[in-house]
Amino acid sequence: MSDTNPILWAYNLQCGKPGSAARLASDLRETFAEAATLSRPGMSEGNISRIRLDFKNAISQIAKAFKEHDSSFFRRLADGLDQLPNNNNPEKNHSPISCLFAAYSHCCLDSPTTGKVIEVAKRIWALRRVTGNLDIDPGHVGDTTFERKVAREIRQLPAQRWTDHLRELGLDDLPTSKPGPKPKTANNSLIETG
């Protein structure tokens, strides 16, 4: 591992190093994906402002390249897309560690706990296995039949040593979950969390 921070190392592996063509493509892809979530209820004003600013900057970059007839920008973007993992290939990136990293990234704005990150990682892993889509939002809630498939898939996931995976990613210092009843999901607890 070349970087000392395991999260930074994993992020650079997934999204490319800063300044690279892969990072350009990853940042633009992430910006457009986040812009699609703006209508999600409960999003903080700070997040909404950041997403809108990132989206405006991305559009400005693309518009500038068109205006200046900068075909090298689009070649660099295309090269960067080719360098990124193919997130629509159901056979790639189904590892529990990649799901744990994605879960931490998803939860990091909400003071993540060990239990919450593992719960979201299991959901991500199940969603990836059910849909074949590596970019699916773990907050996505489908109809009752879909959620039953996801819950069944969570129960059938191979056993993992999640604390070992957390340690590999440098996340072993996350606070533990507070004792008490597990919160119900948006779909009335059809999602198994344990």
Q: What is the dihedral of CA 103, 106, 110, 111, to 10 degrees?
A: 40
Classify residue 147: in a domain, yes or no.
yes
Total structural domains in the chain?
2
- Looking at the structure, tell me whether residues 32 and 116 fall in a common domain: no
Classify residue 166: in a domain, yes or no.
yes
Contact 21, 79 (CB under 8 A): yes
The secondary structure element, H or E, covering residue 114 is helix 114-131
pLDDT of 21 reads: 93
Classify residue 160: in a domain, yes or no.
yes
Classify residue 6: in a domain, yes or no.
no
Token pair, residue 162, equals 């999640």
pLDDT in tens, the chain (194 residues): 344 565 666 677 677 888 999 899 988 988 887 787 777 666 678 888 888 999 999 999 999 999 999 999 999 999 998 887 665 444 445 678 878 888 887 887 677 889 999 999 999 989 888 877 766 778 877 788 888 999 999 999 989 989 888 888 778 888 886 655 665 555 444 444 44
- Looking at the structure, tell me whether residues 178 and 93 fall in a common domain: yes
pLDDT of 2 reads: 43
- Looking at the structure, tell me whether residues 122 and 175 fall in a common domain: yes
Q: How far is CA 15 from CA 20, 26, 71, in A?
A: 9, 5, 22
| pTM, entire model | 0.51
Question: Which residue range forms the structural domain that includes residue 39?
Answer: 15-83
- Looking at the structure, tell me whether residues 176 and 108 fall in a common domain: yes
Q: Could you tell me how far CA 102 lies from the centroid of its own chain?
A: 4
- Looking at the structure, tell me whether residues 142 and 104 fall in a common domain: yes
- Looking at the structure, tell me whether residues 70 and 31 fall in a common domain: yes
Classify residue 7: in a domain, yes or no.
no
- Looking at the structure, tell me whether residues 114 and 194 fall in a common domain: yes
- Looking at the structure, tell me whether residues 186 and 104 fall in a common domain: yes
pLDDT of 179 reads: 56
- Looking at the structure, tell me whether residues 103 and 178 fall in a common domain: yes
